[in-house]
A = this chain, B = another copy of it.
Amino acid sequence: MTTLGLHLIADIHGATALDDSARIETALRAAARAARVTVLEVRLHHFGAGCGVTGVVLLAESHISIHTWPEHALAAVDIFVCGPHADADAALAEICRQLGGAVVMRQAIDRLAV
């Protein structure tokens, strides 16, 4: 069986800057570079002072997303990439390097069997 996509899912605990949309955008763009994927667009939404941020990167190879809950020191990260050259694990490592924290849940799911 061949699959078109790899979807890496991770929850991160103990990260910092989870209410800082500029830091989160920097982390997402660095993650895309680490994964060797092509950014089409980055969209962020801040839920208000002291609250979390949603960030989504539309990629030529699918997407990276993050949702943060600073009050719980939690972030939910998705790295969905297609193609043999994309490195989802490198993207996740880069997000952890940028924001700190530890991966407390991780699943790698093969998507789109053809």
Contacts and interface: CB of A to CB of B under 8 A. Distances in A.
Interface stretch (A28-36, A84-92, A95-103, A105-113): A105-113
Contacts of A40: 45, 54
Chain A residues touching B, majority SS: strand
A74 interface: yes
Number of copies: 2
Contact of A111 (B43, B45, B76): B76
A109 B43 contact: no
Contacts of A65: 56, 63, 65, 80
A113 B109 contact: no
A97 to B, nearest CB: 21
Interface of A: 4-5, 7, 9, 11, 40-41, 43, 45, 47, 54, 56, 58-60, 62-63, 65, 67, 69, 72, 74, 76, 78, 80, 82, 104-105, 107, 109, 111-114
30 contacts: A4-B72, A5-B67, A5-B76, A7-B9, A7-B76, A9-B109, A11-B111, A11-B113, A40-B45, A41-B45, A43-B56, A43-B58, A45-B58, A54-B58, A54-B59, A54-B62, A54-B63, A56-B58, A56-B63, A62-B67, A62-B76, A63-B65, A63-B67, A65-B65, A67-B80, A67-B82, A72-B114, A74-B114, A76-B80, A78-B78
